[in-house]
Structure formats: C-alpha cells, structure tokens
Amino acid sequence: MASQFGSSTPFAEPYWYNSNKPSAFYGDSHKEFRARMRKFVDDEIIPNIEDWEAANSIPAEYFKKASAVGLLPAMASWPEDISGIPPRPRDYDLFFSFIAYDELSRCASGGTVWGLVGGMGIGLPPLVHAGTPEMKRNIVGPVVRGEKRIALCVSEPQAGSDVQNLQTTAIKDGDSYIVNGLKKWITCGTFADFFTVAVQTQPGSGFGGIQLLVIERSRKGVSTRAMDCMGVKGSGTAYVEFEDVRVPSANMLPGGAALLISNFSMERLGIAAQANRFARECVRLSLEHAHKRPAFKGTLLDLPVVKAKIIEMARKVESTHAYMEQLMYRMVMSEKKGEDVFAQLMSLSAEASMAKVMASKTFEECARSAAHIFGGNSYVKGNRIEHLYRQVISLAIPGGAEDVMIDYAARLSFQGKL
C-alpha cells in the first residue's frame, strides 16, 4: 500500500498525507473524508474552473453536489438536525472543516472557493449556532443542502476593517426593524437568497449597538449590484443595498457584537486555510516546473538559488499549516470539554488574526517567488501562477486587513498583561 496520499511532489501535500509521517490530529474517518474531498475536487471542480471564472458564476447544480459529498455540511459544523444531507462522520470535529477547505483550495481558484463556500462559510454559522428553530428549518437546511445561498454583509464603503464605524441602521418600528444602508465587497452577494447583516441599532454607539439581522433577498428594498474585482471571478462579489427594508424582530440573532466577533475568528481561520493551500500550490507548481525546465545546461532546479527559493517557500507553508493545526486542536479539545463555542472563538481572536496574517503573507511571498521561477510565463493569462498572484490581495484584506489584524492581536494579547 502506498504511503503517500495525493501528489508525490515534495511539500505538495500536508505532512500527515504520508503514512510514514503520522499525526495525532487525524484518524481513519478524517482520511476517509479526505479521500472523498479529493475525488470530488478532482472530478467535479478542477475541470470546470476556467469555464466558471470566464462566466463569473458557478452552476447551481454544483452546490447540491457539494452538499451530497459532505463539503457544504463540513462548512456548517455538520448540523445533525438537518435532513437531506449525508450522515455526520464518526468522530466528527473541526478538522473536517479544515480538510474540506484545504482540499477545495487545491483548485487554485479564488473565485471558485469563495463562490462555492465563501458566503456560506461566514454567513451561515451565526444561524447554525444562534438561530431559531424556524431559521434552521427555513434557511440553514436549504443552504446546507445546496438549494439556497447566503452571504455575510459587514463591510461598507466607509467602513471595512473598522467594524465599529458601520453606518447601516436598523431602527425599531413596532414589531419590526427598518433597515437602511449600503454594504460593499459582499462575497456571493449577487446570487445570495439570504443576508446575515451587521446593523447599527443605536447610531453612534459603536460596538454597543451592533447586531446581526437576517434579511431575505425577497424583501422590498433589497437590491444588489455586481462588482468587477481584480480576482475571485465567480464569487459574486457585490454591493448590497437596503432601502427602508422592513424586517421582523424575530429575524434578529441574539449575541450582538460578540456573535459577530466570534464569527470573525472562524472566517479568519478559513481565509488562512485557503491562503496557505494556495501558497502550497505555488510550491508544487514551482518545483514541478523547475524540475523539467531546461536552463543553463541543466534544469532550473540545478541552480542553488532556485532550490533555496523553493525550500524557503516550503518552510513558510509548513510552519503556517502547523500553527493552524494547533489552533484547530485547541478548539476541538474545548468542544470535547463542553465549553461554549462562542467562548472558544472569542478566546482565539488574537491567534486567529495572527494565523490569517501569517498565511496571507506566506501566500504573497510564495506567489512572488513562483512568478520569478516561472519567469515571463507567469505574466501570461491562463498561467495558474498569474491567476494565483491576482488572488493575493483578496486574502490579505478581507476578513480584516493585515495591519489591522496585527494591531488587534497585539492589543488583545498585551492589554492588562504587562
């Protein structure tokens, strides 16, 4: 039996994919799920990415396929009370979500990853963990089954990483809220059926007035407008505008800003997983290219400077992956102890922010090194390195820009500790 799962190119896969390099984090059920994700991505995703990027959309039937194989359930903590999805794997834990994100990101297409799971991965968890039974029946179920789609609406034209400065308001009016405001850079906004919207219920009060409100696209006053971005083609990035939208009070999720902040931790870990697999793809593509590219009476890989560049890329990718695994393990152990999921995520705020920065910086450095190894080929449309390079900013800024995340992590880590 082969010891290596997946590519045999050095550093093309995480260490635990080689049975001679075992990990305490993964068991047989993780390996079974990994194989299922690998087959799905190889058979259904990778052959289609160029068509989907050109069309700037993913056909609806692939969301149902992603549900049937377990990809969408894994992105939603695999809720057991939802019908019509595969049974939860034995020994399910957060590492299943990590595997799903990592395997999907092998497609090296930012738009495909975000279009398929981006909106759901950040817009649905607040409903999974804090939604009413009706929300779980009417929204969580259809989204996890791939029948409907959802998006998270936080960023605005004047407030991105500065969340406390949000201007979209939800003013109480009897048993409803009247919502007004404009959201920007909303992943999956053009095709979402539901929006999990960060609103200000007490204008001028900062975090104290922030709440999460679920708004259906079908409500009068909701409109979307596509954005033409540098990368992530197929992700449905959009402006989402709310003009005197009347929303029932029952659509308000409990938890306020704390619910939003805890959701940010999972978002940042997801972005980190995607960025690091994109970086790993840069390593794989560079090594395979350098091995066969004739240059200076040998191959590129014969040049010490090229070998050094690739091994430095691999060092950063492996370090980042190991850091994320440790954070996942902390969450798994907390869950086994019965600790509150929101408390777990709040406690990880600093580390999740650092992981995101670590991964996005690693990706940027690997994309640049890969571009130099590929030379002029990396400047031509259709080359995967050219495509990956255009995704760098899409992972460095969303979910919290790098500089903001570094400052945030420092304040959380140092305040009251010295």
Q: Is residue 136 over pLDDT 80?
A: yes
Q: How confident is the model at residue 245 (pLDDT cuts 50, 70, 90)?
A: very high
Q: Looking at per-residue confidence, does 338 or 271 come out higher?
A: 271
Tens of pLDDT, residue by residue over 13-42, are 999 999 999 899 999 999 999 999 999 999
**pLDDT for the residue 345:** 77
- Summarize pLDDT for 365-384 with one digit per residue, the tens: 999 999 999 999 898 988 89
What is the C-alpha to C-alpha distance for residues 118 and 120, in angstroms, rounded to an integer? Answer: 5
Q: Is the pLDDT of residue 53 over 90?
A: no
Summarize the confidence of residues 145-172 as an average pLDDT: 91
* Least trusted range by pLDDT, from 53-62, 332-341, 348-357, 383-392: 332-341
pLDDT at 235: 87
Q: Which of 24-28, 75-79, 230-234 has the lowest mean pLDDT?
A: 230-234
CA geometry: angle 61, 66, 68, nearest 5 deg: 95
Across all residues in the chain, what is the average pLDDT?
93
Is the pLDDT assigned to residue 216 strictly greater than 80?
yes
74 has pLDDT over 90 = yes
Torsion from C-alpha of 168, 172, 176, 180, nearest 10 degrees: -20
What's residue 310's pLDDT?
98
Q: State the average pLDDT over residues 313-331.
A: 96
CB neighbours (10 Å) of residue 329?
15
pLDDT digits (tens, 9 = 90+) for 191-201: 999 999 999 99
pLDDT at position 1 is 52
Judged against a pLDDT cut of 80, whether residue 2 lies above it is answered with no
pLDDT at 163 over 90: no
